[in-house]
Amino acid sequence: MSDPQPFRTVASRARAVFEIRGSEFIGYIAPVETVEEAEAFVDEIRNRHADATHNVPAYRVPAGEPSRSRPTDAMLREYASDDGEPTGSAGKPALNVLVQQDLRNVAAVVTRYYGGTNLGVGGLARAYSRGVKEAIDAAGTTERVPHKQFTATVTYDDSGTVRGILESAGVEFDATYESEVSFSVRVPIDAAAALRERLNDATSGRVAIE
């Protein structure tokens, strides 16, 4: 059984804009589920501000599937980059805000348009920290339960049974109707095994679960 403990993340995407000694800083924050989603968000902001002097990313996301032997927190991938700013002046301060606020499944990017005045390592660290903090404040935080995703594929004859079980369980799912019916299911980790067993029993083993 994976660790089902709730965790804190941001409630939505948000941004914060401020100016320090002529340099404009824009802090962006977003909830993400995977490393791929975090990297996609970073790329989105970099493309949006391709003309910026720096786009400094930081994120904390699951590195893979949790397990009993590897608790959820130990599975977090923490990443940051200074993106051309002096070493240790940007990425680490941005990431530290996420760590200090105990946020995970979250990605941040702080964009800077240089205004002609050097801020020094200390000034930069304060500015990039502020960019993340103010974006978090704008987004708000929320508590969430870790989820697991799986796909259940059945024939049309069994699709009504599977849909009924998923609806009664109150889980999130999307159905794709092709030669067979595939249900993409998102379920709290601590309920995943029981739901899979229920689907298997209800279809006499005819459901294919991946």
pLDDT of res. 143: 87
Q: Same domain, yes or no, for 125 and 157?
A: no
Residue 52: in which H helix or E strand, if any? none
Mean pLDDT of 21-38: 95
Residue 2 lies in a domain: no
Nearest to 7 by CA among 189, 145, 186, 188: 145
pLDDT of res. 132: 98
HSE (side-chain half, CA atoms, 13 Å) at 148: 23
* pLDDT surpasses 80 at 51: yes
Q: Is the pTM of this model over 0.85?
A: no
Mean of per-residue pLDDT scores for the chain: 91
* pLDDT surpasses 50 at 68: no
Q: Same domain, yes or no, for 32 and 83?
A: yes
Sheet containing strand 181-188, strands side by side: 172-177, 181-188, 147-154, 208-209
Q: Same domain, yes or no, for 130 and 65?
A: yes
Residue 1 lies in a domain: no
Q: How confident is the model at residue 190 (pLDDT cuts 50, 70, 90)?
A: confident
Cα(14)–Cα(139) distance, integer angstroms = 5
Q: What is the CATH number of the domain that holds 95?
A: 3.30.230.30
- The three-state secondary structure class of 136 is helix
* pLDDT surpasses 90 at 86: yes
Domain encompassing residue 189: 147-209
How much is the CA Rg of the chain, to the nearest whole Å?
Answer: 21
Handedness of CA 40, 43, 49, 53 (dihedral sign): positive
* pLDDT surpasses 60 at 66: no
- Quick one: 172 exposed, middle or buried, by C-beta within 10 A (0-12, 13-18, 19+)? exposed
Q: How confident is the model at residue 65 (pLDDT cuts 50, 70, 90)?
A: low
Mean pLDDT of 103-131: 96
Residue after which a domain boundary falls, among 144, 169, 190:
144
* pLDDT surpasses 60 at 23: yes
Residue 16 lies in a domain: yes
pLDDT, tens digit, 9 for 90 and up, residues 142-174: 988 777 889 999 999 999 999 999 999 999 899
The rounded percent of the chain whose pLDDT value lies above 70 is 93
> What CA–CA distances, in Å, run from 19 to 96, 127, 152?
21, 9, 51
Mean pLDDT of 53-68: 81
Cα(22)–Cα(3) distance, integer angstroms = 47
Q: Same domain, yes or no, for 102 and 195?
A: no
